[in-house]
Amino acid sequence: MAKAVAVQSQRGVPMPNIPEMGQVWEPMAQALQLIAMGEQEPKPALDDAVKAIKENIEASKSE
């Protein structure tokens, strides 16, 4: 397991340290839950999450 973590740490990209990241967590969590429960296929669930994230970011800029 340690080897797998080491390999992935070389491939990973750090998460940006920007305020907009706060708009990502809830839509992604909802999408992953829908996928895990078999309620939605991955692509549409993730496409919906991306749409919600973009809408949330735009809404937060207008506040």
Give pLDDT, residue 63: 75
Residue 48, judged by CB atoms within 10 A of its CB (0-12, 13-18, 19+), counts as middle
Q: Which amino acid, one-letter code, is at 43?
A: K
Per-residue pLDDT of the chain (63 residues; tens, 9 = 90+): 899 999 999 998 888 999 999 999 999 999 999 999 999 999 999 999 999 999 999 998 887
Distant-in-sequence, close-in-space partners of 56: CB < 8 Å, separation ≥ 6:
23, 27
Provide the whole-model pTM. Answer: 0.75
Tokens coding 40: 């939605």
Q: How far is CA 18 from CA 9, 15, 33, 44, 54, in A?
A: 21, 9, 25, 26, 14
